[in-house]
């Protein structure tokens, strides 16, 4: 098969805009429309929803907001759909979609993939003495969800059967794109370079609008945010593809926007581990071939592991966050005094009820640049936002804390204006527990056309080169000058999270800038710049190189206060870290105009 396949992604997370679907369906000339809804925390939320109602546990937005209004057009244009919208309950998701299709008189063939949900095997897992892949801890007591990251194989098989829609539970995000490519191009699992390219296409699409200009460093160049374009991969049988977006939509697709998504939420780019292939992105090449069209080449594949990654979430007490504007002279000082008084008064109340103090508290004064640590500039402002987040084992304690906050409006420093959202309610803290589990112990099932069969992953016989990290080589002597530049003048940045780890990608705006960035932006200098983020005195920062796109990737471990909903910070996923790093200064530089020539 030689014709290209066009795949558009309409969702990067549960809660993304539904306006992406009609733009892709009517303007994208698509063969496949894919949706990525799931995160570790989303799985836990869906598990709770299923406990309350056996028919729930999937993402209803997929059925009612994305598919229902567009289903007739999707069918008429012969667009096939792949979505991990099934969450904890893929069959109920399929039943809900079937009901919608019947009401609209649309003949829809739906396949369902299951097997990722390992929660029923929890006790068996305990007997196997499973250990967390990072901390070495044993399985905790209060496990809410436990899901394996499945690959693209069962998706491809379901498409081969003739399914119009494939609904999965947890799989790696990129699998919703790789599955259609394996099916339509008849790739086998020994074609590791092609699998790596297909996985890269999935990685570039999986976060929705981000490849098309969403959260781009040069945000001021983006037009029509209200009509944001979503990315399309136009893929060839040899693995090469272009990234574009539907016509008459906002955003833009450039080497810069695609580069930022490439480095988003990855670790070692030479060993990006997925169930179907171990990817090497270090020498990927991006070329602007037309307005809003970027050609992607050069990903390489190696033999994958014999294990699936499994992520479990577990309960670890309760939290609440109170947010309030504070106005007037010395606003930051007043906010901090007020916040400390609320914490102390709450713990005094706890003693009366025989409760322990808070396990953790976190106070921030937004507007005083506390997120910047020692790099802050604006410490004296007349309006700030007080942020108080607390963690306690008992829900009762959180309720008592909530009742004590409002007293500051009459019994605290002046300028406390309102409690945003009212008194905060207790919400459970969910933490992540990840481990590896043998592939041959997980039973994957494909249900289609009234039948259910097991899917057995194909054994990969291809050999792999030894995994090597990609710390850049030391540069030769660099020409010095008298100029100082912000990193943002020389590079794009993008940051994100994996649990309690933050990664920051830095992409040089011109290849000539990279040696100077490498020289001054080191693991040590980045650790010092963000020293206020780390949970302990041990600051672990790893630096990797992606010479193909003139980029570096920094991995900051234990830097997000627990990450996700376990963190009490205002930036629990490190989304702002890339932006903060743009103000890092590089000294003794020659004129960058001369370097460009």
pLDDT, one tens digit per residue, over 304-318 is 999 999 999 999 999
- Residue 355: CB atoms within 10 A of its CB come to 17
Q: What is the mean pLDDT of residues 28-42?
A: 94
Q: Whole-angstrom Cα distance, residue 130 to residue 139?
A: 6
For the stretch 377-413, pLDDT in tens is: 876 789 999 999 999 999 999 999 999 999 998 998 9
Averaged pLDDT score across all residues of the chain: 94
- When mean pLDDT is compared across 456-470, 504-518, 534-548, the lowest value belongs to 456-470
DSSP assignment, residue 509?
S
CA-based R_g, the chain, Å: 25
Mean per-residue pLDDT, 570-596: 95
What the block records as the tokens of 118 is 């390992």
Which position has the token pair 């539970």?
169
Inter-residue contact 447 to 454 (CB < 8 Å): no
Q: DSSP per residue over 17-84, as a string?
A: -TTHHHHHHHHS--SEEEE----HHHHHHHHHHHHH-TT--S-HHIIIIIIGGGHHHHHHTT-EEEE-
pLDDT at 135: 87
**Model pLDDT for residues 162-213, shown as the tens digit of each residue:** 999 999 999 999 999 999 999 999 999 999 999 999 999 999 999 999 999 9
Percent of the chain with pLDDT over 70: 97
Q: What is the mean pLDDT of residues 426-451?
A: 94
Please tell me whether residue 346 adopts helix, strand or coil conformation.
helix
How high is the pLDDT of residue 424?
96
Q: 105 burial class (0-12, 13-18, 19+ CB within 10 angstroms)? A: exposed
Quote the pLDDT of residue 2: 47
Give the CA distances from residue 317 to residues 163, 227, 549, in Å, rounded to whole numbers and listed in that order: 43, 41, 43
- When pLDDT is averaged across residues 530-548 and rounded to a whole number, the result is 92
More confident residue, 50 or 244: 244
Only one residue has tokens 């990855």, namely 266
**Range 263-289 average pLDDT:** 97
């Amino acid at each position: 098969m030689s014709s290209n396949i066009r795949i558009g992604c309409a969702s990067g997370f549960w809660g993304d805009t539904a306006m992406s679907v009609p733009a892709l369906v009517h303007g994208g000339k698509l063969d496949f429309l894919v949706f990525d809804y799931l995160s570790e925390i989303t799985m836990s939320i869906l598990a709770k929803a299923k406990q309350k109602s056996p028919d729930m546990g999937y993402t209803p937005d997929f059925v009612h907001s994305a598919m229902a209004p567009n289903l007739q057009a999707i069918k008429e244009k012969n667009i096939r759909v792949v979505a991990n919208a099934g969450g904890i309950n893929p069959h109920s998701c399929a039943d809900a979609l079937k009901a919608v299709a019947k009401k609209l008189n649309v003949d829809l063939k739906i396949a369902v993939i299951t097997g990722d949900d390992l929660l029923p095997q929890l006790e068996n897992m305990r007997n196997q003495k499973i250990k967390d892949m990072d901390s070495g801890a044993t399985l905790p007591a209060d496990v809410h969800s436990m899901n394996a990251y499945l690959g693209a194989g069962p998706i491809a098989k379901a498409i081969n059967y003739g399914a119009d829609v494939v609904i999965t539970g947890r799989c790696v995000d990129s699998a919703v794109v790789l599955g259609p490519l394996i099916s339509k191009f008849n790739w086998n699992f020994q074609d590791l370079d092609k699998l790596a390219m297909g996985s890269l296409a999935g990685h570039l699409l999986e976060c929705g609008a981000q490849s098309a200009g969403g959260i781009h460093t040069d945000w001021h160049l983006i037009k029509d945010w209200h009509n944001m374009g979503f990315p399309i991969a136009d893929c060839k049988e040899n693995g090469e593809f272009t990234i574009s977006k539907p016509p008459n939509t906002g955003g833009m697709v450039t080497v810069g926007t695609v580069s930022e998504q490439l480095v988003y939420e990855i670790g070692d780019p030479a060993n990006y581990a997925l169930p179907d292939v171990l990817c090497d992105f270090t020498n990927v090449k991006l070329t602007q071939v037309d307005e809003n069209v970027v050609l992607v080449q050069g990903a390489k594949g190696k033999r994958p592991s014999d294990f699936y990654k499994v992520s479990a979430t577990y309960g670890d007490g309760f939290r609440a966050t109170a947010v309030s504007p504070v106005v007037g002279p010395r606003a930051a000082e007043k906010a901090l005094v007020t916040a400390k008084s609320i914490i102390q008064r709450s713990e005094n109340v706890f003693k009366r009820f025989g409760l322990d103090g808070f396990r953790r508290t976190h106070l921030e004064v937004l507007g005083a640049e506390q997120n910047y640590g020692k790099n802050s500039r604006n410490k004296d402002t007349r309006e700030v936002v007080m942020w108080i987040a607390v963690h306690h084992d008992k829900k009762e304690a959180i309720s008592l804390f909530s009742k004590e906050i409002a007293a500051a409006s009459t019994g605290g420093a002046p300028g406390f204006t309102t409690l945003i959202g009212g008194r905060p309610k207790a919400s459970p803290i969910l933490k992540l527990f990840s481990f590896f589990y043998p592939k041959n112990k997980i039973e994957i099932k494909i249900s289609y056309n009234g039948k259910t069969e097991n899917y057995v992953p194909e054994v990969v016989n291809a050999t792999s080169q030894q995994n090597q990290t990609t710390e850049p080589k030391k540069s030769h002597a660099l020409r010095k000058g008298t100029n100082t530049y912000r990193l943002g003048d020389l590079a794009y940045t993008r940051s994100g999270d994996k649990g309690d780890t933050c990664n920051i990608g830095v992409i040089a705006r011109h290849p000539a800038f990279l040696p100077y960035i490498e020289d001054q932006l080191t693991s040590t200098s980045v650790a010092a710049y963000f020293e206020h983020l780390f949970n302990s005195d041990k600051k672990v920062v790893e630096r990797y190189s992606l010479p193909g796109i003139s980029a570096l990737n920094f991995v900051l471990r234990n830097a997000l206060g627990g990450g996700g909903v376990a963190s009490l910070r205002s930036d629990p996923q490190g989304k702002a870290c890339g932006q903060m790093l743009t103000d890092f200064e590089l000294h003794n530089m020659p004129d960058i105009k001369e370097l460009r020539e």
